[in-house]
């Protein structure tokens, strides 16, 4: 069993629980109670899962959507700060096993940048996890330039986590099984990442770092098509899409435990850009066994499991 760092590991705290509850309305009460117990546990249950799967360190982030659905910026800032302070106290209890991603009030770019800096400098967090759009505003919006500038200066990766789209996709109407994890979240999150790339965020801030789960939300599969179809249709950045993806994007295994897409991602973005995650508690049982048993060179397995994340997040 290879030693691992896990990057998409969720928790709940009093400041964010009220935002999470409405996302469970279609989930059986017993399942909701089971998830809640796992999300609010920082002791035996979580650590036992980590031991079982060889996870030496978990980078914790709230279970979305968190304050990003809050309409009032001041309330979002208060709740985000409370959540981050809560997480910092839990990390301090087990600094050998836990690290943190900041939760940010993206309603206000300066407040988000300031909170990210506080979390990185004062709380020793590794970066931030952002749960998709914030009330319909995506991270390519030019009002977020200040935020990206600060994240790049701090060397703080931004993990872009799936969220529901602003409005239901008409093409999926009447096919509820497709709407969220099976397909819709990937469409939404991959499209969000492409907006960030095509709007020139990485041209303006070449040291900015973006992380996607699910082995890149299908982007690694499409590099050739992005390049071949972009310029004739108005691409006006100095590098082709694939180069920004290879230079500014990292991906994790979360919820994608199959050798073919893993090898595609390794070939597309490079062996130093693919990392492990278990998506606790939503998909925690499949990740460890997959990485431990899928045929790989052992040095590559160690890079995916631990070394790449340790380097990106500056973890021992």
Under DSSP, is residue 211 helix (H, G, I), strand (E, B) or coil? strand
**Does the structure show a pLDDT above 90 at 30?**
yes
pTM: 0.97
pLDDT digits (tens, 9 = 90+) for 142-156: 999 999 999 999 999
More confident residue, 64 or 32: 32
**Does the structure show a pLDDT above 90 at 26?**
no
Mean pLDDT within 51-58? 97
Domain 4-312 has CATH 3.40.50.960: no
Nearest to 113 by CA among 83, 144, 141, 91: 144
State residue 173's pLDDT score: 96
Which tokens in the block code for residue 77? 């800032």
Nearest to 16 by CA among 97, 102, 126, 132: 102
Residues recorded for the chain:
316
**Does the structure show a pLDDT above 80 at 201?**
yes
Within 97-140, strands assigned E span 98-102, 127-130
**Does the structure show a pLDDT above 90 at 316?**
no
Confidence of residue 224 (pLDDT cuts 50, 70, 90): very high
Is the CA virtual torsion 25, 31, 34, 35 positive or negative?
Answer: negative
pLDDT digits (tens, 9 = 90+) for 4-22: 999 999 999 999 999 999 9
Nearest to 195 by CA among 116, 239, 256, 133: 133
Secondary structure of the chain: what % helix, strand, coil (to 5)?
55, 10, 35
What are the catalytic residues? 279
């Amino acid at each position: 069993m290879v030693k691992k760092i896990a990057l998409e590991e969720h928790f709940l705290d009093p400041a964010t629980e009220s935002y999470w509850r409405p996302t469970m309305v279609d989930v059986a009460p017993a399942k909701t109670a089971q998830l809640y117990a796992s999300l609010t546990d920082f002791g035996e249950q979580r650590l036992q899962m980590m031991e079982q799967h060889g996870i030496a360190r978990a980078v914790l982030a709230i279970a979305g959507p968190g304050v990003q659905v809050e309409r009032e910026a001041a309330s979002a800032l208060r709740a985000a700060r409370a959540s981050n302070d809560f997480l910092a106290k839990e990390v301090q209890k087990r600094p050998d096993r836990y690290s943190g991603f900041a939760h940010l009030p993206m309603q206000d770019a300066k407040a988000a940048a300031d909170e990210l800096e506080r979390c990185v400098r004062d709380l020793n967090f590794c970066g931030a996890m952002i749960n998709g759009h914030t009330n319909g505003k995506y991270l390519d919006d030019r009002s977020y330039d200040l935020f990206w500038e600060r994240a790049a200066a701090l060397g703080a990766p931004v993990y872009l986590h799936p969220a529901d789209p602003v409005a239901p996709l008409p093409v999926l109407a009447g096919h509820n099984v497709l709407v969220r994890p099976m397909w819709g979240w990937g469409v939404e999150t991959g499209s969000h990442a492409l907006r960030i790339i095509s709007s020139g965020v990485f041209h303006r801030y070449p040291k900015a770092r973006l992380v996607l789960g699910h082995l890149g939300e299908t982007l690694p599969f499409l590099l050739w098509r992005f390049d071949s179809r972009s310029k004739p249709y108005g691409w006006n950045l100095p590098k082709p899409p694939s180069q920004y993806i290879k230079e500014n994007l990292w991906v994790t295994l979360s919820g994608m435990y199959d050798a073919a897409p893993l090898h595609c991602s390794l070939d597309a973005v490079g062996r130093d850009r693919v990392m492990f995650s278990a998506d606790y508690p939503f998909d925690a049982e499949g990740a460890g066994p997959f990485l431990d048993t899928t045929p790989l060179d052992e040095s590559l397995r160690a890079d995916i499991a631990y070394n790449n994340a340790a380097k990106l997040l500056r973890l021992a």
